[in-house]
C-alpha cells in the first residue's frame, strides 16, 4: 500500500487530479490518456523526487519504494470518476499543478471521444490520506 503522508525529511507531497465521467463513456480511454498526460509531466521532475527518497534511505538505512503516479477508477457520489495521485515537490507544487492542468487539457482537446467522456473540468487538489 503506498504511503500518502509526507515522509519527514522529504520535500514532496501528494496531489491528485480527478475527472468525473459520463455514464457509458469509454473509461479505458480516459484511464490511458489522462494517466499518460500526468506521467509526461512527472517524468520532468521525477529525478528530484527520487533523490530526496535516496537521501532518506541512506540516513535511515531502509529501502523505500520510489513514489510514482497512481491511477484509480472509483464510484463517487456524482457517479464514476477517475483519479490520478502524483507526488509534487513542495517548492514547485503550483508550477507542477499548472503543468499537469495544461497536459490534461491538451489530451482532452486532442481526442474528441475523451472530451465527451469527461463531465466538466477535471479538478486538482492536495491528497490528504491517512
User: What does the alpha-carbon distance between residue 124 and residue 48 come to, in Å, rounded to a whole number?
Assistant: 21
The tens-digit pLDDT sequence of the chain (130 residues) is 344 455 555 688 899 999 999 999 999 999 999 999 999 999 999 998 888 766 665 666 666 677 899 999 999 998 999 999 999 999 999 999 999 999 999 999 999 999 999 999 999 999 875 4
Give Cα 39 to chain centroid, integer Å: 8
- Distance of alpha carbon 52 from alpha carbon 67, whole angstroms: 10
User: Within a domain: residue 3?
Assistant: no
**Structural contact between residues 66 and 50, judged by C-beta atoms closer than 8 angstroms:** yes
Domain count, the chain: 1
- Full-model pTM: 0.85
Does a structural domain hold residue 91? yes
Domain coverage including residue 83: 13-126
Distance CA 107, CA 19 (A): 13
Amino acid at each position: 500500500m503506498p504511503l500518502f503522508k509526507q515522509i519527514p525529511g522529504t520535500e514532496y507531497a501528494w496531489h491528485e487530479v480527478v475527472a468525473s465521467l459520463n455514464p457509458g463513456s469509454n473509461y479505458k480511454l480516459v484511464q490511458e490518456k489522462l494517466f499518460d498526460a500526468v506521467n509526461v509531466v512527472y517524468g520532468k521532475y521525477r529525478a528530484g523526487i527520487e533523490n530526496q527518497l535516496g537521501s532518506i534511505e541512506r540516513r535511515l538505512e531502509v529501502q523505500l519504494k520510489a513514489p510514482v503516479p497512481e491511477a484509480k477508477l472509483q464510484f463517487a457520489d456524482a457517479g464514476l470518476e477517475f483519479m490520478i495521485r502524483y507526488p509534487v515537490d513542495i517548492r514547485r507544487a503550483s508550477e507542477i499543478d499548472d503543468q499537469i492542468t495544461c497536459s490534461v487539457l491538451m489530451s482532452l482537446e486532442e481526442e474528441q471521444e475523451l472530451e465527451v467522456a469527461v463531465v466538466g473540468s477535471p479538478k486538482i487538489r492536495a491528497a490528504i490520506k491517512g
